């Protein structure tokens, strides 16, 4: 078993998926105790048993369907009273890829609940404790889809844009309290997520698809470096700076209060 510095307890959602399980394993190797969250009790128990055999920290599980309001509230209550928490990783994600008019009410609800409501509620559950203790880490797994509109990814992409926007607002608020709010922005990654969402990952351009272990490696390296943004496949990180400057200029130029001349012509 690894002899590592104790880092407190990390809560990781989506642990029944490959990315969540791999990320949780990396946290355990770094000295975190774990609270594994996922929908399948059997899968959580299997992952927990494997981690207990190789890591020295404690491993707990919480079976929770984040699309279920009662399950989510139970998890929120659990986190609110846990003073050992030092990291929250929102990795769980939901999607149904299709034309918007063909999406079922259930698919819409589940995507918004898992990708928007659940992270927001979980962050709200842990942040008062992080602020009081003067440290903590919030890691939100978004998607490159948050930055580019593709019609077939409609609600999923919009939900990830919400998560990016929320993260930026919270970062500005919480940094002075010693809390890191980090956003991981994966490209398409070779997992079962795509098939479950109704799109074969093989239909995507092969060079665009990242191996799951590469994503996990980059996300953990970004955590070690305490980066605000982790773009695992972006070689030129100055692109992000240019994007944000252009966005800020767009907002600034709308703050004049004057009617644009194109709307004043007869």
The domain locations on the chain are 9-236
DSSP state of 138: E
What per-residue confidence (pLDDT) applies to 202? 75
> What is the pTM (predicted TM-score) of this model?
0.93
Q: Out of 83-92, 132-141, 197-206, 250-259, which region has the weakest mean confidence (pLDDT)? A: 197-206
How confident is residue 150, by pLDDT bands cut at 50, 70 and 90? confident
Reading phi first (left if > 0) and then psi (alpha if -120 to 50, else beta), residue 134 is in left
In angstroms, rounded to a whole number, what is the distance separating the alpha carbons of residues 70 and 74? 6
What per-residue confidence (pLDDT) applies to 1? 41
> What is the average pLDDT score of the chain?
94
What per-residue confidence (pLDDT) applies to 266? 66
Are the C-beta atoms of residues 62 and 9 closer than 8 Å to each other?
no
CB atoms within 10 A of CB 52: 15
How confident is residue 3, by pLDDT bands cut at 50, 70 and 90? very low
The fold of the 9-236 domain, in CATH, is: Rossmann fold (3.40.50)
């Amino acid at each position: 078993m690894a002899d590592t510095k104790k880092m407190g307890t990390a809560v990781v959602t989506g642990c029944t998926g490959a990315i969540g399980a791999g990320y949780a394993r990396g946290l355990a190797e770094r000295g975190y105790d774990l609270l594994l969250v996922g929908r399948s009790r059997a899968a959580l128990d299997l992952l927990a048993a494997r981690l207990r055999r190789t890591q020295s920290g404690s491993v707990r599980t919480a079976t929770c369907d984040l699309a279920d309001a009662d399950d989510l509230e139970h998890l929120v209550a659990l986190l609110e009273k846990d003073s050992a928490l030092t990291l929250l990783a929102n990795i769980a994600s939901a999607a149904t890829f299709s034309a918007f008019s063909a999406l079922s009410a259930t698919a819409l609800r589940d995507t918004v609940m898992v990708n928007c409501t659940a992270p927001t509620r979980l962050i709200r559950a842990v942040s008062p404790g992080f602020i009081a203790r003067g440290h903590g880490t919030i890691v939100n797994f978004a998607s490159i889809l948050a930055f580019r509109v593709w019609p077939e990814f409609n609600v999923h992409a919009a939900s990830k844009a919400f998560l990016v926007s929320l993260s930026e607002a919270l970062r500005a608020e919480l940094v002075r309290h010693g809390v890191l709010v980090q956003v991981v922005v994966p490209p398409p990654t070779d997992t079962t997520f795509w098939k479950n969402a109704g799109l074969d990952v093989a239909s995507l351009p092969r060079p665009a698809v990242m191996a799951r272990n590469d994503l996990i490696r980059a996300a953990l390296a970004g955590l070690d470096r305490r980066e605000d943004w982790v773009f695992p496949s972006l070689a030129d990180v100055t692109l992000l700076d240019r994007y944000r400057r252009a966005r800020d200029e767009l907002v600034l130029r709308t703050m004049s209060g004057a009617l644009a001349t194109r709307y004043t012509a007869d």
